[in-house]
């Protein structure tokens, strides 16, 4: 029941927008403004075409809506340079004429807007339904027999899906106890038994059913994956209870089960939350609230009506502007691009950074400041980069670190160009995979480096409580706690110290001696279970490194076991 591009401009502009995105106008020249506006206009046109003609969703509805808001904001900022608004339905029509217009829905941004809408209809019986995530269809029955199935198209004309509909078991081929002429409107969805929206999200459900319907013919297995949720009976009885009773008699029980009466915003919220967090047979991206009584179907138009509105679930993805690209250098010398974003809200998370993953992925996507990216939450908590929505036309040059300058054995001091990798070494050394120095993280290590107290990897071992207390932000009690933790590290087992220094592999039954391990050659390492030629070479390099040997010497002097 998705109606991208069918929202009234008032409804669209009322969508919630992160404050930064509704902020001041970009500082562009007229020429750049024209260039950027045209680029976004073309991208919106492409998305519209894919959605209306190809029945595909290149981006989530939330991202599309945000892009439209961005376009309208820029048009207001630069009216002289602005192209006309995209023609949402310019190429959406088909040859088949729908029996009744598909109206679409206006989307309300929040509970307050819905409450105001409901207050204006206090004397109307109101009902709530899940907003099924599939492709809309209009079904026409003559004398109880399926006569026509038409896609949404431009609301008045669409693609004739009748031949496909005859092979989909979920679409009744004959309606028992039906009037001579029946028009049903609903959603063809991809079956997902046990789907929980809050956990599973959209799961590309719409794309799956749209792709199936785009084929020349449906095979039996694919057709069986398509379900039908009827959300309206245009021309049916005037009252909702009578319509539901009629739909039930036709065998359309889902329509009855998923259409519930509501008397207050509290009722709507309860059903919205229930459908969001409990298993359903299909994906749903929100709820629809509609009046039980509405105008005669002959008066319906291909535009959002006043008698029904949508309230969507928290956005699964969002559009974000890239403010900067940082290249972080990890303990092993791996360079990871990280995007600094104009903050966006995803569920209850404020996202302002996202990891690209690898330097090669960043190069393939060619992301620069000013680009617009689509981000989502992985596992409901971790920001994830999904795609580049569109690129700014004026590309800023970026200075990349040299990958050849960093390896697993570089940067044992915080010298120029080594600050990031050195800090990463300390974080690893004190972390759960290393010495397990509880409560000591990147901020503490950074403060000690900035104070000049750590210039070599193991300088922290000799710091006194007085020295620690001299660091800004570390009081006397905290200094004493740190000193105890640092002193206790000397008692950690030899194997844990090896991990803390970054030994490339964990080896069972290791000799408890640095001297014994450092004498091994490639063949001796490779003779151990799980050690291949590459890892054996890394181990030889590790134990042969002058920097690593220097750390071992300091640990020997400090009396650490095994060194």
CATH for 67: 1.10.287
Task: Choose among 526, 513, 521: nearest CA to 563.
Answer: 513
pLDDT band at 11 (very low <50, low <70, confident <90, very high): very low
Cβ-based neighbour number of residue 391 at 10 Å: 18
CA–CA distance, 186 with 189 (Å, rounded to integer): 9
- pLDDT for res 190: 94
Q: What is the pLDDT of residues 112-171, one digit of tens each?
A: 999 999 999 988 899 999 999 999 999 999 999 999 999 988 888 888 999 999 999 999
| Residues 326, 284 share a domain | no
pLDDT at 506: 77
Whether 200 and 110 map to the same domain: the answer is yes
Domain presence at residue 89:
no
Write the CB contacts of 387 (distance below 8 Å, at least 6 apart in sequence).
59, 373, 374
CA–CA dist 204, 57 (Å, integer): 9
Q: Please report, for the domain that includes residue 452, its CATH number.
A: 1.10.150.20
**Residue 349: Cβ within 10 Å count:** 14
Residue 91 pLDDT greater than 50, yes or no: no
Question: 55 pLDDT band (50/70/90 cuts)?
Answer: low
pLDDT of residue 348: 72
Residues 262 and 201 in one domain: yes
Mean pLDDT of the chain: 88
pLDDT of residue 378: 72
Range of the domain at 39: 9-81
For the chain, what is the radius of gyration of the CA atoms?
31
Residue 418 lies in a domain: yes
Q: What is the mean pLDDT of residues 34-59?
A: 77
Q: Which tens digit of pLDDT belongs to each residue from 355-365?
A: 999 999 999 99
Q: At which of 404, 433, 459 does a domain end?
A: 404
- What mean pLDDT is predicted for residues 537-560? 94
> What average pLDDT does range 520-543 have in this prediction?
91
Assess contact for 117 and 289: CB atoms under 8 A.
Answer: yes
Is a pLDDT exceeding 60 seen at residue 63?
Answer: yes
Among candidate residues 211, 220, 48, 224, the one with its CA nearest the CA of residue 134: 211
Tell me what the mean pLDDT of segment 468-480 comes to: 89
Q: Which residues are catalytic?
A: 131
Res 287: pLDDT: 97
| Residue 53: pLDDT over 70 | no
Look at residue 45 in the predicted model and tell me its pLDDT: 82
Residue 563 lies in a domain: no
Global pTM reads 0.69
pLDDT over 50 (residue 13): no
Residue 94, phi then psi, degrees to nearest 5: -130, -170
Residues 291 and 380 in one domain: no
Shared domain for 120 and 76, answered yes or no, is: no
The answer as to whether 120 is a domain residue is yes
Q: 200 pLDDT exceeds 90?
A: no
pLDDT attached to residue 261: 96
- Residue 329 sits in a domain whose CATH number is 2.40.50.140
The pLDDT of 221-240, averaged and rounded, is 95
Number of domains in the chain: 4
Regarding whether 285 and 412 lie in a shared domain, the answer is no
- CA distance linking residue 445 with residue 548, whole number of Å: 20
The share of the chain scoring above pLDDT 70, in percent, equals 92
Are 162 and 289 in a shared domain? yes
Mean pLDDT over residues 425-429, rounded?
Answer: 96
Residue 88's pLDDT is 56
Q: Are residues 515 and 446 in the same domain?
A: yes
pLDDT band for 548, please (50, 70, 90 cuts). very high
Q: Per DSSP, what are the bridge partners of residue 148?
A: 140
Residues 135 and 272 in one domain: yes
**Do both 109 and 36 map to the same domain?**
no
% of the chain with per-residue pLDDT over 90: 62
**Do residue 305 and residue 353 come from a single domain?**
no
| Listed range (118-122, 155-159, 201-205, 387-391) with the worst mean pLDDT | 201-205
Residues 146 and 220 placed together within one structural domain of the fold: yes
Residue 265: CATH number of its domain:
3.30.470.30
Q: Find the mean pLDDT for residues 365-394.
A: 87
- Does 3 map to a domain? no
Identify whether 88 is part of a domain.
no
């Amino acid at each position: 029941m998705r109606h991208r591009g069918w929202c009234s401009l008032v409804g669209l502009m009322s969508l919630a927008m992160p404050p930064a995105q509704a902020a001041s106008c970009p500082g562009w020249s007229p020429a750049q403004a024209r260039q950027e506006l045209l680029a976004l206009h073309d991208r919106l046109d492409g998305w519209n075409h894919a959605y209306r003609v190809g029945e595909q969703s290149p981006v989530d509805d939330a991202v599309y809506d945000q892009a439209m808001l961005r376009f309208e904001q820029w048009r207001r900022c630069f009216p002289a340079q602005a192209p006309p608004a995209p023609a949402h339905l310019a190429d959406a029509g088909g040859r088949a004429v729908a029996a009744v217009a598909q109206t679409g829905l206006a989307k309300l941004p929040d509970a307050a807007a819905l409450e105001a809408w409901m207050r204006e209809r206090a004397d109307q019986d109101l009902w709530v339904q899940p907003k099924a995530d599939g492709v809309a269809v209009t079904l026409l029955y003559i004398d109880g027999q399926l006569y026509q199935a038409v896609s949404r198209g431009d609301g008045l004309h669409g693609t004739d899906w009748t031949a496909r509909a005859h092979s989909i078991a979920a679409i009744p081929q004959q309606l028992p106890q039906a009037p001579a002429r029946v028009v049903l409107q609903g959603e063809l969805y991809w079956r997902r038994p046990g789907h929980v929206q809050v956990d599973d999200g959209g799961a590309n459900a719409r794309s799956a059913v749209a792709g199936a319907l785009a084929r020349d013919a449906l095979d039996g297995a694919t057709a069986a994956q398509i379900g039908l949720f009827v959300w309206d009976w245009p021309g049916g009885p005037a009252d909702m209870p009578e319509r539901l009773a009629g739909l039930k008699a036709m065998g359309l029980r889902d329509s009855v089960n998923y259409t519930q009466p509501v008397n207050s915003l509290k009722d709507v919220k309860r059903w919205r939350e229930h459908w969001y967090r409990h298993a359903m047979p299909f994906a749903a991206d929100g709820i629809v609230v509609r009046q039980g009584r509405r105008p005669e179907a002959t008066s319906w138009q291909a535009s959002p009506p006043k008698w029904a509105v949508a309230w969507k679930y928290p956005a699964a993805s969002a559009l974000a502007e890239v403010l900067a690209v940082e290249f972080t250098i990890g303990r092993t010398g791996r360079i990871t691009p990280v995007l600094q974003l104009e903050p966006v809200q995803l569920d209850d998370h404020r996202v302002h950074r996202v990891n690209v993953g690898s330097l090669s992925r960043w190069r393939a996507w060619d992301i620069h400041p000013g680009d617009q990216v689509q981000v989502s939450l992985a596992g409901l908590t971790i920001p994830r980069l999904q795609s580049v929505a569109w690129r700014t036309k004026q590309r800023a040059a970026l200075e990349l670190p040299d990958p050849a300058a960093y390896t697993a054995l570089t940067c044992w001091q915080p010298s120029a160009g080594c600050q990031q990798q050195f800090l990463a070494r300390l974080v690893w050394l004190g972390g759960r995979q290393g010495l397990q120095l509880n409560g000591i993280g990147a901020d503490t290590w950074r403060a000690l480096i900035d104070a000049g107290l750590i210039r070599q990897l193991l300088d922290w071992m000799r710091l006194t409580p007085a020295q620690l207390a001299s660091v800004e932000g570390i009081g006397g009690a905290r200094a004493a706690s740190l000193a105890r933790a640092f002193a206790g590290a000397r008692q950690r087992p030899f194997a844990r110290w090896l991990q803390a220094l970054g030994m490339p592999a964990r080896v069972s039954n290791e000799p408890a001696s640095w001297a014994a391990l450092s004498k091994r050659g490639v063949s001796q390492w490779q003779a151990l279970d799980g050690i291949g030629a590459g890892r054996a070479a890394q181990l030889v390099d590790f134990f042969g490194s002058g920097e690593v040997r220097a750390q071992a010497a300091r640990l020997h002097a400090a009396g650490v076991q095994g060194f």
